Chain A
């Protein structure tokens, strides 16, 4: 029923012409003309190299690009890739581009792709980010094979990351999902991943799509749905993750897409997560993690100022979210100079858990709670930078592991503040 309203008549007609497929590659776009070509070439090369006999289709769900992105997707002919590699597919590789209704949103694009996968009865559905300029042909095999050959339902990526990239992932999303749901999935909010047809269908029928947070944070909802639905989950090492625009972008928007979906998911899964203690590793193909040290410019003084100013200015807001002891600890940290600055792991874990509990109780507007976490995250970012300034890849891994340990150790504290009715 959902597909009928989600897919336009023209798109449906094109899908019917394709028929059933084995592999569906989803490409959500919005004004990505600058980066889309190498991505689509890599996808085609990956299909030629690893899945020449399979029935495959590339579905581009576009949010209304004005720079010719859909045209670029359609124009990228497989013939060029075949001539270049001297490899040929046994079946026609279809490329379809559709403009989904509404404003550009990751969640709507994903939903459109999943609806197509459901309709075409795809065995494996792969999502690829249009910004991943470092994508290689092998990524497709690494993502699809565990689903296609080993019956996994969700393949989450592991990237080779720059030392200080993915700070929110390493300091909040990974430790929190790991402590809550007990699975060590390093990228719970992934831009590249593969899922089985049955998980795609199941997730498509979930009610999270009805909520705003479900639409903007669909990727994290999918990871949680796979864990709570007891689907088989694994990780696959892909390679270097590129960030063409290496800016922090809109930090508040990033927080809404991730934490804004992670917190409400706790509400609907209390019976599942409240009974979990500790965490278990997830089967992983390839390296567990890789870190490369590249110089980056960070104004540490500015970060500290933003944290201190946030703590001071938002004190009335924090009073309704945080415990008095945590707030006084934050004030103490805010008074520290950059040279001695430290936002310890246990205080950070308590902060996040108290925010989650306050979100659950809706002590103030829920979106305001998510926004209020931003200045504190900046403080934790500074602490993370200082802790790992001279750290090697192994040292960093140990530090992240230690932070995850704190989140797991303090999970009873989350249950305590969660049940607190005050």
Chain B
């Protein structure tokens, strides 16, 4: 009886040792891949940071209004954030590559999904950035045009335009990421429709006096505008 137990134990230990011996090289390979991946990811981070600094990416980020958002959220600068993003994506990619060497059944599928997801993630980040840039540019252009035309609610107009463009960009981001596509589509349509309806009602009800005043000024008298228009700048 005792001999059987000892023999079974020895067999189990031998199998464990064989299994460990079988996995050890793979584990070492995984660790080497993870380490090399860390080095490559770090080099990539430094490289991306230098390129972004050389191309004055921070200025573009300022223009997009992204810097302001990051400051408010107490996050690092956009250059630092992008370089860190590249570092982590690259390193996680290498770690997963290393894990795949271990040959654990079931993990392979998730790893390949992750690699397939990377291009979409990159496109989503690019869309988000340029969306913010466009929102900032268009809203500032509207603000300047409205102020110079002496429009009373210039800020409101500018903020509305910024929100609409940002929502549009965000909905595109979610669509690219494939996150709750239908929900996002419905949410976007609802929000957009609500904003437009709200604006229409606001302009219709709230702006009737303004419209009357405008029409009276344009059609009835035609004199008030002249009062400040007799100064020729050149």
Contacts and interface: CB of A to CB of B under 8 A. Distances in A.
Contacts of B62: 320, 363-364
Contacts of B229: 247-248
A372 B154 CA distance: 13
B231 A314 contact: no
Contacts of B152: 309
A348 interface: no
A338 B148 CA distance: 20
A298 B234 contact: no
B9 interface: no
Interface residues of B, number: 25
Given A317-B144, A363-B62, A296 B234 contact: no
B147 A303 contact: no
Contact of B148 (A164, A168, A249, A371): A371
B148 A374 contact: yes
Given A299-B228, A302-B227, A375-B147, A169 B233 contact: yes
B72 interface: no
Given A297-B226, A320-B62, A246 B144 contact: no
Contacts of B141: 365, 368
Given A313-B147, A313-B155, A374-B148, A365 B231 contact: no
B154 to A, nearest CB: 5
A242 to B, nearest CB: 10
A364 B61 CA distance: 11
Contacts of B42: none
B67 to A, nearest CB: 10
B233 A248 contact: yes
A258 B230 CA distance: 20
A381 interface: yes
B63 interface: yes
Interface string B208-234: 000000000000000000111111111
Contacts of B144: 314, 317, 368, 371-372
Contact of B233 (A166, A368, A371, A372): A166
Contact of B147 (A164, A314, A377): A314
Interface in A141-193: 164-169, 189
Interface in B54-76: 59, 62-63
B156 to A, nearest CB: 10
A320 B68 CA distance: 12
Contacts, number: 92
Contact of A297 (B137, B227, B232): B227
B233 A310 contact: no
Nearest to B154: A313
A306 interface: yes
B152 to A, nearest CB: 8
A362 interface: yes
B140 interface: yes
Interface string A305-323: 0100110011001001000
Interface string A364-398: 11001001101101000100000000000000000
B59 A168 contact: no
B183 interface: no
Contact of B234 (A254, A303, A314, A362): A254
Contact of A365 (B63, B145, B150, B155): B63
A302 B148 contact: no
A332 interface: no
A314 B154 CA distance: 9
B143 interface: yes
A317 B234 contact: no
A368 B140 contact: yes
Nearest to B227: A299
Contact of A303 (B59, B226, B228, B232): B228
A274 to B, nearest CB: 23
Contacts of B232: 165-167, 243, 246-249
B23 to A, nearest CB: 56
Nearest to B63: A364
Contacts of B155: 313
B234 to A, nearest CB: 6
A400 to B, nearest CB: 15
Contacts of B145: 371
Contact of B230 (A246, A317, A372, A374): A246
A12 interface: no
Nearest to B226: A297
A282 interface: no
Contact of B140 (A189, A302, A306, A364): A364
A90 to B, nearest CB: 38
Given A374-B148, A375-B148, A258 B234 contact: yes
Contacts of B137: 365
Contacts of A410: none
A6 interface: no
Chain A CB within 10 Å, residue with most, of B141, B148, B229, B231: B231
A248 to B, nearest CB: 5
A381 B147 CA distance: 17
Nearest 8 interchain pairs by C-beta = A168-B233, A299-B227, A299-B228, A371-B144, A247-B229, A296-B230, A302-B228, A313-B154
Given A165-B231, A248-B232, A313-B155, 15 more contacts: A248-B231, A252-B148, A254-B234, A297-B230, A299-B227, A302-B228, A306-B150, A309-B154, A314-B147, A317-B140, A317-B143, A362-B59, A365-B141, A371-B144, A381-B231
24 contacts: A165-B231, A165-B232, A166-B232, A166-B233, A166-B234, A169-B234, A247-B230, A248-B231, A258-B234, A299-B228, A309-B150, A309-B152, A313-B143, A313-B147, A313-B154, A314-B147, A317-B144, A363-B62, A365-B63, A365-B141, A368-B141, A368-B144, A371-B145, A381-B231
